[in-house]
Each structure stands twice: as structure tokens, then as C-alpha cells.
Amino acid sequence: MSSIFTRIIKREIPAVIVYEDDLCISFRDIDPKAPQHILVVPKKEIKSMADVTEDDELILGHLLVKASEIAREQGISDSGYRIVINTNKEGGQTVGHVHLHLLGGRQMEWPPG
Ligand code: AMP
């Protein structure tokens, strides 16, 4: 069974897509936790950061580079933003397909909840 994010990649369910290339797709979170809340998702269906191997080095680096570019395009680069990768149950992960949250447009707190 494909993950919900793979279904977005295949255009089986809709999303507000902000960027896409051969390795990743980026779209707006359906339940935003900040004025800007964008997900950056590898097209390869890696379950979680706990499942990453050395083969994923290029993909993971790519996600970070694209998140930086998207933040610039969305106008939150100078003000600042947070990148989050929730991992497995105690990390708060709810979708079993690695994704990076790009959150911005408001002051972030530390430590996170
Ligand atoms: P996580 O809890 O870190 O696994 O993040 C999953 C994120 O995916 C949550 O912030 C959800 O709001 C978001 N999400 C779930 N379904 C969709 C969807 N169909 N389109 C966009 N975002 C989604």
C-alpha cells in the first residue's frame, strides 16, 4: 500500500504543490502549524529516518538544499524558519514516509513540545 505522500506524487490525491523534481516533491501541509508550513518529501518511499541507509545520502542532502531554496522563494529565509523531521512514535511521526517540515512566518519556541 502506497503512503499518502506517494499518492500525492502519483496525483491520486490533491495537494498544493510548491516544487517538484526527479527526487522530491514539496507541498503545503494540510493542517498547518505555522503561517508557512511546507513538506519536502523524497519520491523514494523511505519509511522514517530510522530506515535511512548510506544509499540515501544524495536524496537527504537534496531535500535540505531544496528546503533552503523553497524558504528563500517563500520569503522566510531572512526572518528565519525551522526544519523538523519527526521520527517514529516518540518523535511524533504520523505518516510513514520520510518528510521534512519547513515551518516559518512566526517566532518558533525552544524547546519544542
Ligand atoms: P508527521 O506527523 O511528522 O508524520 O507529519 C505528517 C504531516 O503530514 C502532518 O503535518 C499532516 O498535517 C500532513 N499531512 C497529512 N496528510 C496530508 C495531505 N493529504 N496533504 C498535505 N499534508 C498532509
Domain parsing of the chain, residue ranges: 4-104
**Is the overall model pTM greater than 0.75, yes or no?**
yes
What are the phi and psi torsion angles at 97 (to 5°)? -155, 115
The tens place of each residue's pLDDT in the chain, 113 residues long, gives 899 999 999 999 999 999 999 999 999 999 999 999 999 999 999 999 999 999 999 999 999 999 999 999 999 999 999 999 999 999 999 999 999 999 999 999 999 98
Indicate the CATH number for domain 4-104.
3.30.428.10
Q: Mark 76-85 as b/e (b = at least 16 C-beta within 10 Å).
A: beeeebbeee
| Residue 99 annotated among the catalytic residues of the structure | yes
Local structure of residue 97 (DSSP, 8 states): S
| Residue ranges lining ligand 1, Cβ < 6 Å | 4, 13, 15, 27, 29-31, 39, 86, 92-95
pLDDT for residue 62 = 98
Residue 19, exposed/middle/buried by CB under 10 A (0-12, 13-18, 19+)?
middle
Distance from the CA of 31 to the center of ligand 1, in angstroms? 7
Kindly report whether the peptide bond that precedes residue 112 is cis, defined as omega within 30 degrees of 0.
no
Q: Using alpha carbons only, give the angle 101, 36, 4 rounded to the nearest 5 degrees.
A: 45
